[in-house]
Copies of this chain bind each other. A is one copy, B any other.
Amino acid sequence: MQQLKSFLCGRWQSGADPQTVLHDATTGAAIAQTSSRGLDLGAALRHGRAVGGPALRQLSFAQRGEILGQLASVLVTHRDHLLDLSGRNMGTTRGDGKFDIDGASGTLAYYAKLGQTLGDRTWLADGEQVQFSRSKRFVGQHIWSPRRGIAVHINAFNFPAWNLCEKLACALLAGMPVLAKPGTATAIVSVRIVELWQEAGLLPDGALQLLVGSAGDLLDHLGPQDCVVFTGSGSTGQQIRSHPQVLRYNVPVNVEADSINATVLGPDIAPGSDVWTMFLAEVVREITQKAGQKCTAIRRVLVPSAVADEVQAELVARLQDARVGDPAVQGTAVGPVAGPAQKRDVVAGLQNLALHAQLVWQAADVPADGCFVATSLFRTDAGAAAEYVHDHEVFGPAATLLPYAGSADEAVDIVARAGGCLATSVFSDDAAWAGHVVLGVAPYTGRVYWGSSKVFDQGTGHGAVMPALVHGGPGKAGGGEELGGERGLRFYWQRTAIQGDTQLLRGLVG
């Protein structure tokens, strides 16, 4: 059985027994083990701060970007190998695996390019000089400079490549060293990626460390210049936010947590039209892709009551064609969920959902072994009043149809009922109606996707996170924000207002 090691303080290290076992999601067989017990995590954080930070900060944005570009190239070179590992560890179909691996290399490449754009500097000015009324000589200038601590990244199990890379791309380009902890159940891909990077010798010493297994006492060692970025469950997010060291030093914490995303079909969309088809394809993809294990996946499907039965029939027809089974078999649409613990969570969630909404369809012929879950479609006519549906994210291949009368305000109220989402989509060609919904859901959503006939064949998809756009959501979705081009770097920076003589500041800031 493979022993997964952590890469800390410049060397690969194994923790003491007992070990945590990782499974092949398709067969359920144990395939690897790991432990972080006894590893000196305080030393790892100090190593990042003392060695990795200074090394990164002396590089320009262009130089940091160049490193990111090389990291991306390694992923491209070893793509097939990583896709195999992903399929074996977490049961992804080849398409699901690509979404993760190619998303990772694409995001690294995006930030590599941004590094070139930011150029030969090591920190940035924010805005122009501010003049005060009483003097023309004495002015203010804001700057962004990298925090002097270490960025702790606690990643989710569902994207072992992309989640690792999208976070570290921003931190490293910003000039902060990283200690990343992947979700243990699917850590094989994360570990292999860091091994490949280490073998290629691309990163300055201390710039990137990897902790595999339990976080142990990691957070006890946080200091006032550190920060934490977390993707995962709301309850773990709460634990991090309320950790004594986080509170003591006001350590910035970015959380991306439970999100019960919605899509809204506009009343103007006629059955059979391009947008109708686009909408159906989008919902099916969001339910089936990665077996529904995407933080941006559609969980609530708002459809005008007048066409609810028709939408339901069409979705069922398409979902019936999306076979659940061994991801290695050609034509499989839905693989297993990522591991035994994930399967238990999803099955429990589906049982609860069935208490509050009607199960209108469920996939048959689902393998009993391994971590397979039956694709499921629910429906409730309770709208915003529905219980459970708006409150609990079932992180698997399932969604709930919510018929509504067709008014924009009603749609906004139903979407808002979840208390904050990562992604909401609206499908409509009625600019006024859709504009009302888009602006109405905006305060409750990190990203709004507007599908219309003008872009029916061009969209990037409801669930795809683009590095140029912010990813995160308010309220229950965590209240955080990642990516968004340069915006994603600012979390790792301190903004400082500098006041002084206008010429001296120009000499300093440029």
Contact = CB atoms under 8 A, between A and B. Distances in A.
B498 A442 contact: yes
A268 to B, nearest CB: 13
Given A142-B469, A494-B443, A454 B484 contact: no
14 contacts: A137-B455, A138-B458, A142-B469, A238-B247, A238-B248, A249-B420, A250-B476, A442-B496, A446-B497, A447-B499, A450-B498, A450-B501, A452-B500, A459-B499
Contacts of A495: 446, 470, 481, 484, 487
Nearest to A147: B443
Interface in A429-449: 431, 434-435, 438-439, 442-449
Contacts of A505: 450
Contacts of A251: 479
B132 A460 contact: yes
Nearest to A468: B130
Contacts of A257: 250
Given A142-B470, A252-B479, A499 B419 contact: no
Interface in A207-262: 224-225, 237-238, 241-242, 247-252, 255, 257
A508 interface: yes
A134 B460 CA distance: 8
B132 A468 contact: yes
A145 B257 CA distance: 22
Contact of A250 (B130, B420, B507): B420
Contacts of A447: 496-499
A485 interface: yes
A432 to B, nearest CB: 9
A500 B455 contact: yes
Chain copies in complex: 2
A173 B292 CA distance: 41
A478 interface: yes
Given A238-B248, A439-B145, A508-B438, A498 B448 contact: yes
A435 B140 contact: no
Contact of A225 (B452, B474, B477): B474
B485 A130 contact: yes
A347 interface: no
A404 B55 CA distance: 28
A77 interface: no
Given A446-B496, A479-B250, A496-B446, A503 B130 contact: no
A458 B225 CA distance: 33
Interface residues of A, number: 80
A482 to B, nearest CB: 11
Given A443-B494, A455-B138, A250 B475 contact: yes
Contact of A497 (B242, B247, B419, B470): B470
Contacts of A487: 142, 495
A309 B370 CA distance: 77
A77 to B, nearest CB: 21
Task: Please list the 6 inter-chain residue pairs (A to B) with the smallest Cβ-Cβ separation, ordered nearest first.
Answer: A224-B475, A450-B500, A250-B479, A469-B497, A135-B458, A454-B501
Contact of A500 (B123, B247, B449, B468): B449
A130 B242 contact: no
A135 B138 CA distance: 47
A451 interface: yes
Nearest to A240: B247
A504 interface: yes
A494 B446 CA distance: 8
B458 A134 contact: yes
Nearest to A148: B443
A143 interface: yes
Contacts of A143: 442
